[in-house]
Structure 1
Amino acid sequence: MPETPLGAFLRARRSRLAPDEAGLPTTAGRRRTPGLRREEVAARAGISADYYARLEQGRQRVPTGPVLDGIAAALQLAGPERAYLHRLAGHHRRAAAPAPAEPPAVPATTLALLDTLDAAPAFVTGPTFDLLAWNRPAGLLMAWPERRPPHERNLLWQVFCCPNGDRSGNLAASGSIGADLVASLRAHHADRPGDRGLDTLVRRLSADSPAFAALWDRHRAGAPGPGRLHVRHPALDTEVLEYTVLPLPEEGRHVFAFLAPPGSRARDAFAAVHADEPGPSGP
């Protein structure tokens, strides 16, 4: 049978949970497959091994909420991934609406916020991390997105495909900006199963970046949060920028704001480019 998103998620998470992490005794000899066995997950979830196998194989109709909660506990899923599991199974899923031809304008108050950050790169992203607006320091950091083709005006492209963003620290399997962005995109994907534009984005990034493809196949889900960006940029003397993420009232939109170390040449460069031509930019 064709692979289902629910089955793929369950298999991926089961294969990455070691027996000792799940509190199971390790047996002598090698296991044929990594992670937990199906019957071990089923026993921990309080369901039959056959029922769980049908879920992974896409042969079982939508399971109930308590069954999903039992599976989530068995696989040690955190809150966002527990919610993601329910959405994959069809619980509380919003119908996929067609994407608008043009994204709604970024409000003037948000643009003004970007402009006040005179020495801090800051930009607004949409649900799939398209860059909707950015201040002049962010333009310097990202090599002037307004001069790039549309598909490159995207934070995922910046992190995974741009030469300045190709740093191992950005692409680690956990605790990196790359892992955070992919987990957020995966969560958004569950709510829009028929969004062909989103599917095209995932296919393009998977083809262009083996690191993106590997993270996508981990099937983690969550929201973007603060972290560190590793950069390689001729105008900056620092290789790490701390950043924070602020959710906006508009669904799926966030402000990313980066902070260069005080007294660094990077902070001076950001302040200087802001003074040259104040005001945020956009596509």
Structure 2
Amino acid sequence: MPETPLGAFLRARRARLAPAEAGLPPAGRRRTPGLRREEVAARAGISADYYARLEQGRQRVPTGPVLDGIAEALQLAGAERAYLHRLAARHRAPAGAPPEPPAVSATTLALLDTLDAAPAFVTGPTFELLAWNRPAGLLMAWPERRPPHERNLLWQVFCCPYGDRSQGNLAATGSIGADLVASLRAHHADRPGDRGLTRLVRRMSSDSPAFAALWDRHRAGPPGPGRLHIRHPALDTDVLEYTVLALPEEGRYVFACLAPPGSRARHAFAAAHDTAPAHAAQARAAPA
């Protein structure tokens, strides 16, 4: 029977939860890591056979209370608990074609331009680069000059030579790569019929073993602030702190990076802004 997204998520989370973390006594050597199915079922208050059918894709969508019980059993945090419910809900309603995204607002473009020494850019739900200021253009090797598949923050982090040489970007937790993949995974639950999204995941998994490993962890949640590790020939710093602001449009974020005060990087970003301060560049979202 083909693997279902719900079943894959349940198996991945079960494998990552150690018995000791679940308050279970040692039970000798286990053939596989994590909890056994019957242990999750017992903690969730359902039968082991019912839970096994869920993982195998042979059980109809469970009710909300059952999902909450499973979330408790697997110790899912708020974002991943919501993701579990969204995975279940996707079976209840057919997915339509994704709507045409609106243009980046003039207010948001003006905000990017006010950050004269800070790379700032807007991403869409699959982290396509929608708009950026001149410092961000310098940081990302001028996205407007690059092929469509490279105008994506995922490509910048996992495949660009400036980003993918540092394991700091690719750690399983607490890294920009882990956050981006978790956010993409959450978006994937809402768009099961989005072929462009499926192609993006397939291509990124093929091009980057690190992306594929993070995708298989089945984490879900929004991106947050952190540190971007870079190897850039025009800059003198290896780490940029960044923050993330959610925009009113669903799935859109502003990323703003900050170079250390007085660094050559800060001066390089300010110089890039001064070359064309009139408005931020904007790109149409390209197909994956």
TM range (shorter): over 0.9
For the residue of structure 1 that corresponds to 2:282, the secondary structure is coil
The separation in 2 between residues aligned to 1:97 and 1:164, in whole angstroms, is 37
After superposition, residues 1-283 of structure 1 pair within 5 angstroms as 1-28=1-28, 30-90=29-89, 96-100=95-99, 103-166=101-164, 167-278=166-277, 279-283=279-283
Gaps of 5+ in 2: 284-288
- The RMSD of aligned alpha carbons is 1.3
Partner of 2:250, secondary structure, is coil
CA shift for structure 1 position 103: 3.5
Deviation by residue 1:4-58 (Cα, 9 ceiling, x = unmatched): 1100000000001111111111123x20111000011011111111110010011
Deviation at 1:91, TM superposition (A): 6.7
State the distance in 2 between where 1:52 and 1:11 align. Answer: 11
- Provide the TM-score with structure 1 as the length reference: 0.97
Task: State the secondary structure of the residue aligned to 1:31.
Answer: coil
Which whole-Å deviations, capped at 9, do the CAs of 1:229-251 have from their partners, x for residues lacking one? 00000111111111110011111
Task: Tell me, yes or no, if the aligned pair for 1:206 and 1:213 is still in contact at 8 Å.
Answer: yes
**Cα distance change of structure 1 residues 125 and 68 upon mapping to structure 2, 3 Å threshold:** same
Alpha carbons of 1:271 and 1:185: their partners in 2 closer, same or farther (altered >3 Å)?
A: same
- SS at 1:165's partner residue? coil
Q: Please give the alpha-carbon distance, in whole angstroms, between the structure 1 residues aligned to 2:138 and 2:109.
A: 17
2:90–2:190 CA contact under 8 A, matched in 1: no
Aligned length: 281
User: Deviation above 4 Å: which 4+ runs of structure 1?
Assistant: 91-95
- SS of residue in 2 equivalent to 1:89: helix
Q: Give the CA deviation at 1:282.
A: 2.1
Percent of residue pairs bearing the same amino acid type: 86
Residues 94 and 51 of structure 1: is their aligned pair in 2 closer, same or farther, counting only changes over 3 Å?
closer
Question: 8 Å contact 1:86–1:92 — kept in the other structure?
Answer: no
Letter in 2 for 1:126: G
- TM-score w.r.t. the length of structure 2 is 0.95
Deviation at 1:92, TM superposition (A): 9.9
Alpha-carbon offset, residue 105 of structure 1: 1.2
Structure 1: segments with no counterpart, 5+ residues: none
Return closer, same or farther for 1:48/1:18 CA change in 2, 3 Å cut-off.
Answer: same
Indicate how the Cα distance of structure 1 residues 176 and 89 shifts in structure 2: closer, same or farther if over 3 A, else same: same
Deviations 1:192-227 (A, max 9, x none): 110101000000000000000000000000001111
The answer as to whether partners of 1:94 and 1:192 remain within 8 angstroms in 2 is no
